[in-house]
Structure 1
Amino acid sequence: MHDSFTGQFSAGLASYGSRPCIEFEGRWYTGDEITAYAEALSSALKDSGVDDRASVGLVVRNRLQHAAAIIGFLAAGRPVSMIYSFQSPDAIARDIETLQLSAVIADREDWTDEVIAAAKRAGSAGVAISLTAPTVTPVVGLHRRDSSRRHAQAEPGVALHILTSGTTGPPKRQAIKASVLERTVFSVTSGEAAPSDAPPEFAYWQFGGIGVCQLVAGIHNGRRIVMLERFSVDGWVDVVRRHHITRSGVQPAVIRMLLDADVPAGHLRSLEFLISASGPLDPQTRDEFERRYAIPIRLAYGATEFAGSLCAWTPEMLQEFGDAKRNSVGRALPDVRLRVVDPDSGAELPPGQQGLLEAMVAPISSDWIRTTDFASIDDDGFVTLHGRADGAINRGGFKVLPETVRDVLVQHPSVRDACVVGVPDARLGQVPFAAVEVVPGSSPPSEDELKAIVRQRLPVYNVPVSFALVDELPRNPALKVSLPAVAALYRAGGQSA
């Protein structure tokens, strides 16, 4: 018996038939083609001795064949664990051995010698997928699951294991139940049923993590989907222009990239607003974008463990509070309760005070779940974020919030972006270090200038001990700055100012 989400999702897929379902690399694929691809994959797994409901692993890329695999698994009620493809072959191999799954599916190019050897050690069947013939084929030497091996059992109700972006360290795998995916659809669409002639869903965030939400919501609601394998300014703008996209979720880095590329305003004419999520957006960049394009940017907040958003702005909220609470991420969604607590005692704090944000999400748990974010909630229920708790730097007993220091550094006219991390110090435990991305063509700021601007606006313990000037900050595929890579600049001596 299908649970309600699986049945609804399967019905959503069936509703396309011969109509366009997904556009990839300039070609529309119909619902029938997506279904046929998923059925071919299901048949290959059955031939490999893999049970219909057994968990499988997917070395995931944002390609049509991977989207079809995810869609097919969800429609059939088969759990799938995401494995990031952008890792080294050795790292992918370690994931496969750790997961111990009945089968692993990967793009033809990702079946390296290391990955094949790992699947053999795990006794997993292997299936290669591609857009060119043969599209679905068993991997040589991995034709069948080793039935003598004990493989991971499907967890009751779990549909997906998705990954965090790995900003602060190795990505963490998060179990998402099918019942929770119902709220994913709601958080993506705000509960709105789009008309049949609405622009397509725009999916370009990594499917291995929270980006899969766009794919899930689109198919569930029978909407057309346009997907990109990876973000580029030209590719993103092309989709917005051709399909008259009216709204899109973007990472803060995307807003900066659009500005730096000096995209003509006419190319973005269809956009009613952008939703900035997955990290802090500095006010200067937001103001510059809104002035140049007259397109509002709304701030949003969600997390991988909640499979979607916790807060949102409604049109009614914007009309009444939009200007006054511009820096808020909105109010809690209907199925969410939020509170702010003291990090040490756990006691709930009154409105306006900063502390750790906790959430109670009805479809997930009746317990309070602590996030890693500092926040405050005002008397009207609007949430404002103040930085990540797991990135806080303890400098000899003084707490330094990296986002606060970054917000000061980006006010320097020669600084396009910055990232502040804690690095070890023998005397104080930790001290702040900053990597600074310099505006192209500008005069690089001196270390004294950068220290002075922080010292003028914040207590002295916030001043970084040193700086590295870089052309581009190191980013992961989710376009978030990689904190371990920034810390490595300090250990390497960086390109000091």
Structure 2
Amino acid sequence: MVAEESYAAGETRTALLTDTIGENLAATVRRFPDRDALVDRTAGRHWTYRELAADVDALALGLLELGIGKGDRVGVWSPNRSEWVLTQYATARIGAILVTVNPAYRTHELEYVLNQAGVRMLVAAPTHKTSDYARMIAETRPRCPGLEHVALFGSPDWEALLRSGRDADPAPLERVARTLRADEPVNIQYTSGTTGSPKGATLSHRNILNNGYFVGELCGYTEADRICIPVPFYHCFGMVMGNLAATSHGACMVIPAPSFEPKATLEAVEAERCTSLYGVPTMFIAELADEDLDSYDLSTLRTGILAGSSCPIEVMKQVIDRMGMGEVTICYGMTETSPVSAQTRADDPLELRVATVGRVHPHLELKVVDPDGGRTVPRGTPGELCTRGYSVMLGYWEQPEKTAEAIDSDGWMHTGDLAVMDDNGYVGITGRIKDLVIRGGENISPREIEEFLYTHPDILDVQVIGVPDERMGEEVMAWIRLREGAAPLTADSLREFCTGRLAHYKIPRYVHLTDEFPMTVTGKVRKVEMRTAAIGLLGLREGDAE
């Protein structure tokens, strides 16, 4: 009997949304005008849906008064704040394209994004922690000839923008809204690639509104839900899986702090009676490690999302047992697919919620292909994961060649992730094609070693990389964060722990103890940076592997 191919199509019982983001928000406002829509804990403010719509429209009209219109690019450079949310929906209302700028960027990266996207207006926080956005904008602006307007949140320019909108005739806004289509671009997100300059994934209303909606559907959201969103808005996790999942269901968005802080997040869940909590595994690890965790009332938590990287089973168990998130789900995706392509379901057993990223999302297709030949492989056979459907981006902004490299002629987005699909359609991500450690001809999955090392009682968090080796091509290195109070760990003591329990070629040759890993702002570990740093730490050369 011929083995079934690694292909799955999502269910289509619930129809795709056909409205724009502005139309969808307006429908929610009509249904739930007096329910909480947004809470900004730092600002100490709450908005009902009626109040949110009024402020969104004021900002949208202010932008129109300034001459910003359909198709214009508006950049937003800021950590999580209520003004970010207003900007997201106001730009969608007028058909402007929101360019989300990574809050961790510095002047060189800012200049690249502003010029590559042709940003006409930039709104930004004045400062955050060590980032002086106002100074960096002033330094960069002379080199960005297309940048006509800048408004810093809370500044006279920002207040004037809102005031002009509140005083304006609303008729132009409604006229513009009637010209918008759901398949038009509404967002450009720059992907943090490991090589070369970032690429601007261009996403439509249809892309991100539907993705947020179906993420919310699989989380079981209703207007009674309150979603704590400590993940960054600049990325799809925050603005799509968070904000659009909320507003498409009438749920409430809760901003616990401008950037992730474990205590602020736990306090927000308790104070705002949140039913859902988002995070990457490192965020949940930090919350679980909080010495006061058990003193917080987290009894309202029901669900949430873990995404961004693989979740160790021990972390998932504690999220369920100690935080009460019995219906927590795992999501898998990438910016170029709006982002989610697969998700576990609330009733999936625990082992499937850690060993896999779930099943294909509604209205999408997944397949696993041979990375070399491109043919679909049998179930249970590893290969590259590809996805197709409404969620696939319009393309990389003004980079048709890069777009063609990522999306094939049949519309399949090639993710670059190694995956296995089982007989029931559950997908396991085994690593990135470029993250494989190849030692002496053996293909080694860092994920497999990481999962094993999490069983060590002194290890809080771990990341495994390959480093160059003249004889073996590559050797395995573990970067380790120890639990508080743990004794120092050496390569020899770790080798002793692994011997007899892990194949010899998978045992890390090198161990580096660290307090933190190099991260993107979305919580993904930057293994390329780790490899570069490791070469310096160990006195190796990149050419040693050749």
Q: Does TM, normalized by the shorter one, top 0.5?
A: yes
**Following TM superposition, by how much is the alpha carbon of 1:429 offset from its aligned partner in structure 2, in angstroms?**
4.4
Counterpart Cα distance in 2 of 1:274 and 1:191: 11
Question: TM-score when scaled to structure 2?
Answer: 0.77
Pairwise CA distance, 1:335: 1.0
Structure 1 residue identity aligned to 2:189:
I
1:372 corresponds to which of 416, 425, 446 = 416
Aligned mates of 1:288, 1:357 — CA distance in 2? 30
**Structure 1 gap ranges (5+):** 139-153
**Aligned CA distance change for structure 1 residues 397 and 155 (closer, same or farther; 3 Å):** farther
Choose which of 213, 233, 237 in structure 1 pairs with 2:262.
Answer: 233
Residues 1:53 and 2:71 are matched in the alignment = yes
Counterpart check, 1:189 vs 2:205: no
Contact 1:415 1:437 in 2 (8 A): yes
Answer whether contact 1:199 1:243 (CA < 8 A) is retained. Answer: no
Residue equivalent to 1:115: 137
The answer to whether the 8 Å contact 1:60/1:106 transfers is: yes
Question: 1:456, 1:374 → 2: CA distance?
Answer: 27
Contact 2:78/2:103, CA 8 A, preserved across alignment = yes
Residue 440 of structure 1 aligns to a residue in which SS? Answer: coil
Quote the residue 1:204 is aligned against: 230
> What is the aligned counterpart of 1:343 among 367, 371, 374?
371
Report the alpha carbon displacement of residue 83 of structure 1 after superposing the two structures with TM. 1.2
User: Closer, same or farther in 2 for the Cα pair 1:190/1:217, shift >3 Å?
Assistant: same
Q: Tell me if 1:410 matches 2:454.
A: yes
Matched, 1:94 2:117: no
Alignment CA distance shift 1:126-1:325 (3 Å): closer
**CA 1:156/1:324 → structure 2, altered by over 3 Å: closer, same or farther?**
closer
Gaps of 5+ in 2: 1-17, 162-180, 394-409, 540-546
Residue in structure 2 matched with residue 142 of structure 1 by the alignment: none
* 8 Å CA contact retained: 2:39, 2:47: yes
Q: Give the total of aligned pairs.
A: 475
- Taking structure 1 as the reference length, what is the TM-score of the superposition? 0.84
Retained in 1: the 8 A contact 2:330–2:357? yes
What pairs with 1:63-74 in structure 2 (closer than 5 Å)?
63-74=81-92
Cα distance, 1:415 vs. partner?
Answer: 1.5
RMSD of aligned Cα (Å): 3.3
The aligned counterpart of 2:406 is none
CA apart distance, 1:252: 0.9
1:224-283 deviations in Å (ceiling 9; x for gaps): 321132222222112222233223232111221122114117622222244321111112
Q: Distance in 2 between matches of 1:292 and 1:195?
A: 24
The 5-angstrom pairing of residues 31-430 of structure 1 reads 31=49, 34-35=52-53, 37-39=55-57, 41-42=59-60, 45-46=63-64, 48-109=66-127, 111-121=133-143, 122-131=145-154, 133=156, 135-136=158-159, 157-164=184-191, 172-190=199-217, 194-196=221-223, 198-210=224-236, 211-213=238-240, 214-228=242-256, 229-262=258-291, 263-264=293-294, 267-293=297-323, 295-296=325-326, 297-315=328-346, 318=348, 327-362=355-390, 364=392, 367-430=411-474
Residue type of the alignment partner of 2:274: I
**Distance in 2 between the 1:219 and 1:291 partners?**
29
User: Shift in Å at residue 398 of structure 1?
Assistant: 2.7
CA distance 1:69–1:168, change in 2 (3 Å): same
- Going from structure 1 to structure 2, the CA distance change for 1:22 and 1:167 (only over 3 Å counts) comes to farther
Stretch moving more, 225-234 or 214-223: 214-223
Give the superposition deviation at 1:107. 2.5
Equivalent residue in structure 2 for 1:21, among 28, 33, 37 = 37
SS in 1 for 2:355: coil
1: CA distance between counterparts of 2:155 and 2:49? 18
* 1:264 aligned counterpart, secondary structure: helix
